[in-house]
Amino acid sequence: MTPSWLDSQMARLRSAYDAGRLPHALLIHEAPGAGGEWLAGWVARLVLCSQPRGNPCGHCLSCQRATQRQHPDLTLIHPLESSAQIRIEQVRELGAELALTAHQGGYKVGILSPADSMNRFSANALLKTLEEPPQGTLLILVATQPSRLPATILSRCQRVRIRAPERADAIAWLEATRGPGDWAKVLAVLGTAPMAAPAEPAAVVEIAAEVRRGLEEAAAGGGDPVATAERWVRSELPLRLTCVENWLTERIRGSAAGDGLFTEVRAGAHPRGRRQSLDLRQLFGLLDAVRELKSSLDAPINRGLALESLLRSIEARSST
């Protein structure tokens, strides 16, 4: 099912292709999980389709191979499993592949996603291909943070912006493609990012509830930070950190809506024992710590110790 929120971008790209004005390089700037890679695949099928009629036909051998990522004129570049970055050798191999004659005499297409995971060496290697693109090539870069790319690359790409869809559109698409489920609760955790939603919505809802319980316990001065950190690190840590981020953001919004800059945010309706509150400044500090941990997941750090420290900070600051 075609995501309805991509209709306008598809129409513009289709019109440019039909008029022979499709650029040699596109930068798809997407909101996280909004469908940037899906749109890149659609453009690839559009130019590779052997029977185009405004849209990729979806039935010819070229469309089928492109959908299965097995088309000889389509190269997809993602970070290797052992790395969080697109490496220079991957970009060099892409450049060498694009320099070859197309097997079907048409376009050669390269998709880099996420393009903002390139380091400066791989970005410089890509720049050489962008400066002197072989005839009949199309490079598609998908990124959520284009600002991380060098200005020399940005200036050589035509940007296509994809904003987060409306919640109703995202839920409708998920129900149509993944089947019935509590997708509203899933998107409440993930934000309006339908393409990032897993196949099983119940798992996300369950993890979100578990994380919330752990945080409420820590904010109330209870729980076991060591055991909780060890349990969370073993499975779905990025999702759990997103849940922690959401929990803190809720409290920041509640605090900012109060009658003072440092309004207290109570962790429970009936606090007992020590004073259980976090002021606005402390909440922002904790949120920064969570985001720093999320951004360093590919670094060689002790994640369990970092998460334990975060939980202890919530506990300690709630009791001051």
Written as tens digits, the pLDDT of the chain (320 aa) is: 899 999 999 999 999 999 999 999 999 999 999 999 999 999 999 999 988 777 899 899 999 999 999 999 999 999 987 677 899 999 999 999 999 999 888 899 999 999 999 989 999 999 989 998 888 999 999 999 999 999 999 999 999 999 999 999 999 999 999 999 899 999 989 888 899 888 888 989 999 999 999 999 888 888 889 999 999 998 888 899 999 999 998 888 877 665 443 333 333 443 343 344 557 888 888 889 888 888 777 777 788 898 898 888 888 665 55
114: left (phi over 0), alpha (psi -120 to 50) or beta: beta
pLDDT at 114: 95
Whether the Cβ atoms of residue 279 and residue 255 lie closer than 8 Å to each other: yes
* Cα 101 → chain centroid: 33
Query: What is residue 315's predicted lDDT score, i.e. its pLDDT?
Result: 80
Are the C-beta atoms of residues 23 and 47 closer than 8 Å to each other? no
Domain(s) labelled CATH 3.40.50.300 in the chain stretch across 4-163
> What is the per-residue burial (b if ≥16 Cβ within 10 Å, else e) of 43-52?
bbbbbbbeeb
The contacts found for 251-260 with CB under 8 angstroms, 24 or more apart, are 251/278, 251/283, 252/280, 252/283, 252/284, 252/287, 255/279, 255/280, 255/283, 256/280
Whole-prediction pTM: 0.80
Length of the chain: 320
Q: State how beta strands 277-278 and 265-266 pair.
A: antiparallel
| Alpha carbons 125 and 25: distance in angstroms, whole number | 15
Q: How far apart are CA 118 and CA 115, in angstroms?
A: 6
Q: 4-163: CATH homologous superfamily?
A: P-loop containing nucleotide triphosphate hydrolases (3.40.50.300)
